[in-house]
Structures are given as structure tokens and as C-alpha cells.
A and B are shown apart, each in its own frame.
Chain A
Amino acid sequence: MKLRNGGLMLLTFMMAFIISACSSNGEKVPTSSNSSNGQTTADVPQEIVVRVNDDPDFLDPHKATASISYQMIMNLFEGLMAPETDGSLKEGLAESYEISEDGLTYTFKIRQGVKFHNGDDLTMDDIQYSFDRLMGKNGGEKMSNNFDNVASTEASDASTFVIQLKEPNSNFLYSLTARQSAIIPKSNDGKHNENPIGTGPFAFVKYAPGTNLELKKNEQYWQEGLPYLNKVTFNFQSDDQAAIMSLMANEVDLTSVPWHRVGEVESSYNLSHQNNNSSLIITFNETKAPFDNVKVRQAINYAISKSDIIDSVFAGYAVPLGSNMSPAMGDFQKKGLESMYERDVEKAKALLAEAGYPDGFKTKITVSSHNDIYSNIAQIAVANLQEIGIDVEIEVVEWGIWLDRVYFGRDYEMTTIDLTGRASAYEVLNDYISTNDGENFFLFKNEEYDKIMADVLKETDQAKQIDYYHRAQEILAEQATAVYIADYQIVWGSDKQVTGLKSYPFWFHDMSEVKFSN
């Protein structure tokens, strides 16, 4: 008797399964039409789901540092200045600005009638509070080193904000975007991470760790008519291959597409290519022999084939580089450097011999496992270098270990990584390379280079700045500071109806002008 009941139980379970599976199909229709109850056109979706690789580190814009965070949260916040897609700047919360002759006084006219997401007006107090918080003047600790050069900040009247510098810095405006100095409301003090409030086109709704970040339209946004979408959801999905299947299953509307799978989605999705503005390099610890010898570095440059790497790792979706600077930076880039070291095995061997290593040497390349591209690149480099007698062993480590040992510890021989894109030419060239910079993990040292990077900050004329930057790039190439391989493109795959995507020379999913159209 007992067992018969057991059998019945099983049956009921199975029935429950079948019934619920069937009923779901009936339910699905109303929910999907429900979701597009926009005020404008009824049949066009008003919500977008964007896939990103990882969670933000912080939602508090002053605390966040990972580029993945800004990709998302720059939709929430604004600074006095705003980035443009070509790498220049435009006015953000400041309506206009003036820089004094001596380059020390910056005067900003602040836009009137701007509201925070909580409905409060943007006041001078909030701007003062935001800078004080960054500089550690609210009693808290300093949150950034970007403003060490600031002598004072002051609101001279209800719509004017003045920043005084200690020394002229032609790059200073770049530290006034939402990325470096988002303006946040004083009234939200202590809650900027749990409940971020800004003035951007979208407002925070909910953050579910490991799942998603939901944003909704800021109805009171100061730019008339923007944004178009009612809701933006950033879904966190680390696996690229799974992400592309989510795109095919219509679970996400926008994701990056792995290069080798472009063919599968080409016909049914819109693809856009974005020059990442990052620079993919193979570099060396330049204080360690034999990499302290410029001839060895040049030999390696001649031996490694950029086109092999571009073709096999990126399926051609990459632009060869000759220095840190990508063509995405326009005039700031010195052209022609990418062909300085055309592959030439004989020349490479000769250079090695001159450097005192006619039979090559043994070394190790340490790469991070968080993205396959690094180990793929290392494999090609190993094959290339074998031809000139350099025997390279590949060591794959976790990202955390790479950061600890290679990046911060500088205990390595060779490595490969991409240097993240920056909005300003100065940062592209100064960060990671000049000895003024703490991030110089390849320990490159060149006096002329350091002098250029110091002088350019005092130069106010843009044409002259560009000359400085061009010379800096030449030095990097001549000194074979690294093997500058390529700026790879991110291929974005999106729903055919999505329009208004903008690509910046850094990672930012700007959703303000995105909409669906028929």
C-alpha cells in the first residue's frame, strides 16, 4: 500500500512538471507585450539588456577604479566636463569655462536647473562637497591623487565655481569628467555606494551582486528629450561564449562578440567595431638582463610578427601599433611607427649577436589567465622567438597573482597585457611608462621621455603639445620599450533595432541616446 502511494507521488510530481512547463508558454505572451508599455510607440521596446563581463567594484563613483565599473556607472553620474567620442571634451555640468592666462585659474559657469535623481537641485554646495570628498577635506581620507595639484576650490557665486591650481597642467580638464570627479549630492553622504545618486541620464534602481545592475530613466534629465529608454539592465556574464548564445536567444540586446564567432551572428545582428584605444603589448622587466639592453629589445621587436598575432588571435580585428598611442586618438598619434620593426629574422639575429647573445638565451613569459588572448599571444611569440634562438617558457597565472607579482611586484621577465585606453593623450603616454608614474611596471627609464612628459603639461598650445607627444612616441619606438602589437577592436553585436550606440576611446556604454527603432 505504502509503495503504491509512492508511485502516485512520483506521478503527481511528473504531472506538476508537465503542467507547469505547458502553462508557461501561455503566460509568456502577455509578459513580453507587457514589458514594452512605453509612452511613445507601443511596439518598440523601451528597455535594453546589456551584457558586461563582471560586477562593478564600487557604485560610489569616487571609490570605483576598475574600468568595468565606469562602463556602467557613467550613465548615472556627470562631471563638470564630459567626454566626447573622439577623445576630446565638451561641457558637462559646467555650461562654459575659462582658463586664466597663467593656466592656474579655472572658472566654471554651472548649468542651472539641473536636478539629482532624488529630485534635489544641484547646488554649489554639492560641487564643493564632491571635490572636498575627493581631496579628503571632509575629514575623510583623500580618495584620489588627481587633485594633489589643486590649491583651492571655491564657489564665487551661485553659478560660478573656481578651481585654483598650484602649477599649470594642460591635462587638468580631463580630471573633471564623471570618471575622475563625478558630482554627487551632499545629502547622500555615507550612502554613495548602497544608493548612488547623480545627475546622469539614468538613475539607480537595484544592484544584485553577480546578477545585474538595473537603471531607470531620469525623467528630469537636463538634456531635453534624453534619454530615450525607460530601463537599462547590465547583466553580468563572464563567459564570452555563453554571452553570444544569450544574444542569439534574445536574452541580451548588446554584447561583445568573440572575434572568431563574428561569422555566426553577422547576418542577423548589427555589428559595430570599436577601436578599444588600448595598446596590447609584450613587455619586459627592463632592469633585468638581458632586457636592459636596447638591442635585445629591438631584436625581439624584429622577431615577433604582429600580423600573425592579429590574424590568429583577433581574426584580423585589430590595428597594428608602433607605440602606446592608437589611431583612435586621431592627430595625437604619430603615424608610421607601426612599420618600424617589420619582421626580419636575420636582422633580429644580428642584433642579438651584437648585444652579446649570438646563441640566444632562455627566459619566461608570465601571462594572466583571466582572458585567453594573453596565452594565445604568448604562444605565437614563443614560436616567433624560437627562430632567433630565444627559448621562452610560458607561465600562466591567475589575474590576482599577475597583479601581485608582475604588475605591482615587478618580479617577472616578460609578460603580455593590454594597457587600458585613456581619454587623454597625456595619460596614454604617461601612465605605465614614464618614471614619474607609479604604474611604470616595465621599469622603463629615459630622461628625454620624462622631460617631455613634464614639459607638455606646461604647454598650453595644442599644436605644440602634439609635437611633444609625437616625439614621445618616437622614443618609445626607437627604444623598443615594448613590443607594441595592436589595438584590438571590440566587436559589439546588437539587436538590429538598436540605434544610437556611441563608442568612446575608452570603455563606456553610453545609453543616453540609445533607442530601438523599426
Chain B
Amino acid sequence: MMYILRRIILLITTILLVSMITFGVFQILPGDPVRTMLGTEADPTQIENLRSELGLDRPLYAQYVDWMKGLLTGQLGDSIRFSMPVKDLLFDRLPVTMSLAGITLLIVLLISLPLGMFAARRQNKISDVSLSTVTQIGMAVPSFWLGMMLILYVGLQFSFFKISGYIPWTQSVAGALSTLLLPALTIAIPQIAINFRYVRTAILEQVQLDYVRTIRSKGMSEQNVMYKHVLKNSMIPILTVFGLIMAEVVAGTIIVEQVFSLPGVGQLLITAISNRDFPLVQGIVMYITVAVVMINFIVDILYSVLDPRIRLR
């Protein structure tokens, strides 16, 4: 109970701090939302009208206080660029980014875990060394380039894949996958490379421990040794890395959504920043903050599930 309470307090202070920092950055950033939106052809009347309509003629701290008041009552305000509630824009795009992140994590898990175990069991053999080399390259590849290459050599060759846009799950499951698999793979490949290395090291460390020799000598099959004991015990360090990878994936969606023209939260964030759309940026930053805090929360809980000696306090 105390633990959850402490978590909630932490979440609130994080949100407060993050929103204040975003606000501070907006104070310093040059650029004006109304001018950016209307471009060079706006006449001064139009600029003034829009500015007063949006309440942008008030000092920024007043806008911040209003925004904060709104947040306390569950309102995120209206986007400047899209003249729509921030909440609607965000909820429209959340499914895209969440699905993308989910599929990415699944791919990372499905590939890096078995691969890491495989390499660990063949330590220093050719298959292990070559896997390590390949993953080294995988880590070094920038994701926008990888995305472009996947579009060129996979997306354009197989008509199943869509290289831009998004089809909702509710409309067609296959359609959603056709739009999400390539971007997910783009984010996943470098993360697989990283996670693979951690899994391999964690398992190698475990295998050397005394208890492994003991259970082997009592005649347990290699299969059971690996899955039942070694993998489970190496999950703690892997989980820590996985928490970090989740944060990386959330960040990775920002670039990849741009490359694949996926209408997700990341793309929205870029539009919001370049348009100086203060309410929208704040709204998205709130979402990312909550997401990251939640991920850490889940990871903490999982620790205690994996190792009952760890107690949440």
C-alpha cells in the first residue's frame, strides 16, 4: 500500500517537474505558433484575430496556470495547430504508437531471448562469434536508414506491406499488421542486438554458478536446466535492460513514424514542436512521462514476481 502511494506521489512530482521544464523551454524557444501556422501570406488582421481567439495574447505564465488548472480537472485544452481538443488528437494516435511499441517489444523478445540462449550454449564457437559480429553491426545501424532500406527491399517487393499510413485493427487485423510490421522491425533490430548481448552474458554468468552443476549432477535434463533454472535466474538483469529498451522503443517510434508516415504520437510530437503548439506538446509530454513511469512501475513489480526475496517497499 505504502509502495503504491509512494509511486503515485512520484508520478505527480515527475509530471509537475516535466511540465515546468517544457514550459521553461517554451519560454526560451523563438518562434510563434500563429505565424508558423498561417505562414507568410497571413495578413495582420488574421494573425491578431487568431491570437486573441486562442488566448495567446496573454502572458505565457497565465497560459501555463490555465493549462495546469485544466490538467487538475482532467482537461488538456485545445491544440493550436489543429483547433481540436488535445485529448482527441492524443487518443486518435495512441493506438498506433501503442501497437507499434507492442509489436516491437514482442519481436525483440521472440528473437533476442532464444538467440541469446543459443549463443550462450555455444560460447566461443563459430555460431556464437558470428552472431556477436552481426549484432554489433545491428547496433550501429541508424534506424531511419534501416527504415528506408526495409521500404526499398521489403516494402516495395512484397505487396502485402504498406509503406505509409495506418490501417486500424478494428478495420482489418492483417491491414494493421501490413502497416506496422516493417516499422516495428526497424525499431526492433538495434534493440534485438542490444538485448541479445545482455541475455547471452546473463546466461553465461548463471551457467558458471554452483547450483547449475548440482542440478546437472542430480540428472536433470539440459532442457530443464536451461529453461527452468538458468533462464529464470538470469531474468533479473535482463528485465532491467528490458525496462530501458521499452523507453528506447517509445523514443524510437518518433523517428520511425516519420519515415513510414504513421500517424502516431511521435509524428504528432514533431508537428507540435515545430508549430510551437504549447498545449499539444504538454499533452504529449504528459503521455510519455506517464508511460515511462508506468513501465518502471511494472518492471518493479515483475522483480518481486521473479525473485520473491525482493520486496516492494
Q: A residues engaging B (CB < 8 A)?
A: 3, 7, 10, 13-14, 17, 20-21, 23-25, 27-28, 55, 57-58, 63, 65-67, 141-146, 193, 208-212, 235-239, 241-242, 245-246, 248-249, 251-252, 398-401, 403-405, 407-408, 420, 438-439
A404 touches B35 (CB 8 A): yes
A57 touches B38 (CB 8 A): yes
A27 touches B163 (CB 8 A): no
Residues of B within 8 A of A23 (CB): 174
**Nearest CB in chain B to that of A370: its residue:** B274
B82 to chain A, nearest CB (A): 5
CA distance A403 to B30 in the complex (A): 10
Q: Can you show 22 pairs from A to B with CB atoms below 8 A apart? A: A13-B106, A24-B178, A55-B271, A66-B38, A141-B45, A145-B44, A146-B43, A209-B89, A210-B267, A236-B261, A242-B151, A245-B164, A249-B155, A398-B31, A398-B274, A399-B36, A400-B32, A401-B30, A404-B32, A407-B35, A420-B40, A439-B40
CA distance A138 to B7 in the complex (A): 54
B175 to chain A, nearest CB (A): 7
Q: Does B263 contact A (CB under 8 A)?
A: yes
**Nearest CB in chain B to that of A241: its residue:** B148
CA distance A408 to B36 in the complex (A): 11
CA distance A3 to B232 in the complex (A): 9
Residues of B within 8 A of A245 (CB): 151-152, 155-156, 163-164
Main secondary structure of the interface of B (DSSP, over half): helix
Q: B residues engaging A (CB < 8 A)?
A: 30-33, 35-46, 49-50, 81-84, 89, 92-93, 106, 110, 148, 151-152, 155-156, 159-160, 162-166, 172-175, 177-178, 227-228, 231-232, 258-261, 263, 267-268, 271, 274-276
Task: From the candidates A3, A24, A237, name the one contacting B227 in the complex (CB within 8 A).
Answer: A3
Known: A24-B174, A24-B177, A144-B46. A65 touches B41 (CB 8 A): yes
Task: From the candidates B38, B148, B155, B263, name the one contacting A208 in the complex (CB within 8 A).
Answer: B263
A396 to chain B, nearest CB (A): 14
**Nearest CB in chain A to that of B174: its residue:** A24
CA distance A241 to B152 in the complex (A): 11
**Nearest CB in chain B to that of A246: its residue:** B164
B123 to chain A, nearest CB (A): 22
A271 to chain B, nearest CB (A): 19
**List of 7 A-B pairs having minimum Cβ-Cβ separation, nearest first:** A24-B174, A400-B31, A400-B36, A65-B42, A211-B263, A65-B38, A66-B39
B170 to chain A, nearest CB (A): 14
Residues of A within 8 A of B160 (CB): 21, 24-25, 28
**Nearest CB in chain A to that of B103: its residue:** A17
CA distance A58 to B46 in the complex (A): 12
Residues of B within 8 A of A209 (CB): 82, 84, 89, 92, 263, 268
Task: From the candidates A7, A14, A20, name the one contacting B173 in the complex (CB within 8 A).
Answer: A20
A21 touches B274 (CB 8 A): no
CA distance A451 to B19 in the complex (A): 53
**Nearest CB in chain B to that of A252: its residue:** B164
